[in-house]
Amino acid sequence: MVDAEEERAFVEFDRVQKSYDGEVLVVKDLNLSMPKGEFLTMLGPSGSGKTTCLMMLAGFETATHGDIRLDGQGINNIPPHKRGIGMVFQNYALFPHMTVFENLSFPLEIRKMNKAEREGKVKRALEMVQMGEFGARRIAQLSGGQQQRIALARALVFDPSLVLMDEPLGALDKQLREHMQFEIKRIADDLDITVVYVTHDQTEALTMSDRVAVFDDGRIQQLAPPDQLYEEPENSFVAQFIGENNTLEGVIEEIQGNQALVRLDGGGLIDTTPVNVSKVGERTKVSIRPERVEFGRDRLGDSAHTLKAEVLEFIYMGDIFRTRLRVAGNDDFIVKTRNAVNQARFQPGQEIEIGWLAEDCRALDA
């Protein structure tokens, strides 16, 4: 249940801008409001401003313009160690010569906690990341995955209400990475902590987050729950950045309510949903997901427009089939179909007819 307390913004960026050199804005007019307990991921290409946002929130950088508030309070007035923020960095930033116990005890000593209390908290934090046996080990004697757990435990040891994580799993192999994604999510839910997580792995962002903020060029391009981000991208950057996506370019030929007819540069007319286009004659990039393409007209209705396509490649992947087509001059048009009993298995060179429901094809900015 969401009560008034949870509704209130816990973390707020209010028209925040940041420039390091007084000229170029690397964060441009950022607005973001997070309720307590939310797991929010900042996702975006390298240099888009993710770490800068995290650093401003943690208090290691100051905003050039605008306000950042934590639990209703302007953050500039609170010294970093009193903000109750735990941080996990990509390179862990552990003290290699110290033991695991000493590393975890350190943030508690800074907070002037007595020995007995420190021991209790360190023990609990280690158990949380399943490293209870490792207190006496030196950091240099741990594997990468174990170090990552200790870095996480150190961020949690002083019961922070907010944890910031900057690509915490970047150095791990795929399997360990997936395991830790699950662990971090579980711990965050169990302890009801608010998390701002940074990654440029979109699968990680989609599977872990309550909401994802897609960054590009110092701006949030879209802020939405994972399903909405994938199914309803608001612009062509987000459509191409999140998930696999087919793009076709053309011009709006006709708009009627929530349908638009697009004439493709490579020939042919298609049915689309106008998203951020509004005028006949306007250029557009249309976006269609590989799993939403239909073969033939069975499910499309008589008035639907279809395109001719040539099969270039058919890849059997076990659970799904992946077919690469040449469509309207695009040689990289991907279609994914489920491996079902009657599902077509195409041959390279075959000519087929494809189409889609207008609602599955989004006409976006060119």
Ligand X SMILES: Nc1ncnc2c1ncn2[C@@H]1O[C@H](COP(=O)(O)OP(=O)(O)OP(=O)(O)O)[C@@H](O)[C@H]1O
Q: Rounded to 10 degrees, what is the CA torsion of 240, 246, 250, 253?
A: -110
> Which helix or strand (DSSP H or E) is residue 219 part of?
strand 219-224
Alpha carbon of residue 153 to chain centroid: 23
Please say which residue, 18 or 324, places its beta carbon nearer to Mg ion: 18
Q: Which residues pair with 33 in a beta bridge?
A: 12
Decide if 160 contacts 86 (C-beta within 8 A). yes
Residue nearest to Mg ion (CB): 51
**Residue located via tokens 């599955």:** 360
Burial class (CB in 10 A: 0-12, 13-18, 19+), 48: buried
| Paired residues of 260 in beta bridges | 255, 272
Least distance (Å) from Mg ion to the CB of residue 198?
A: 6
Of 18-26, 46-54, 226-234, 328-336, the segment contacting Mg ion by CB under 5 A is: 46-54
CB atoms within 10 A of CB 245: 19
x/- contact string, 51-70, with Mg ion (CB under 5 A)?
x-------------------
Provide the binding-site residues for ligand X, judged by CB under 6 A: 20, 26, 44, 46-52, 200
Residue 209's binding partner among Mg ion, ligand X, none (Cβ under 5 to 8 angstroms by kind) is none
Q: Choose the one of ligand X, Mg ion, none that binds residue 49, judging by a C-beta under 5 to 8 angstroms depending on kind.
A: ligand X
At closest approach, how far in Å is the CB of 79 from ligand X? 21
The stretch near Mg ion (CB under 5 A) out of 9-17, 48-56, 131-139, 332-340 is 48-56
Closer residue to ligand X, CB minimum distance, 26 or 180 = 26
Q: What angle do CA 195, 34, 9 make, to 5 degrees?
A: 125
- Kindly state the smallest distance separating residue 52's Cβ from ligand X, in Å: 3
Smaller CB separation from Mg ion, 48 or 337: 48
Which H or E run contains 27? Answer: strand 25-35
Report the C-alpha gap between 150 and 127 in whole angstroms. 10
Q: Which is nearer to Mg ion, 184 or 354 (CB)?
A: 184
Residue 47 touches which member of ligand X, Mg ion, none, C-beta under 5-8 Å by kind: ligand X
Would you state the structure tokens that stand for residue 342, as one six-digit string?
């009657």
End-to-end CA distance of the chain: 42
Which residue's CB is nearer to Mg ion, number 54 or number 100? 54
Q: Give whichever of 240 and 276 is closer to ligand X, judged by the CB atom.
A: 240
Contacted by 48, from Mg ion, ligand X, none: CB < 5 to 8 Å by type: ligand X
Q: How far is the CB of 81 from ligand X (least distance, A)?
A: 21
CB-side neighbour CA atoms (13 Å) of 311: 19
**Closer CB to Mg ion, 51 or 148, in the complex:** 51
The tokens for 317 are: 């992947």
CB of 215 to Mg ion, least distance (A): 10
Partner from ligand X, Mg ion, none contacting 52, C-beta within 5 to 8 A by type: ligand X
Task: Report the run of H or E that residue 163 belongs to, with start and end.
Answer: strand 162-166
Q: How far is the CB of 275 from ligand X (least distance, A)?
A: 26
Catalog residues that contact Mg ion under the rule CB under 5 A: 51
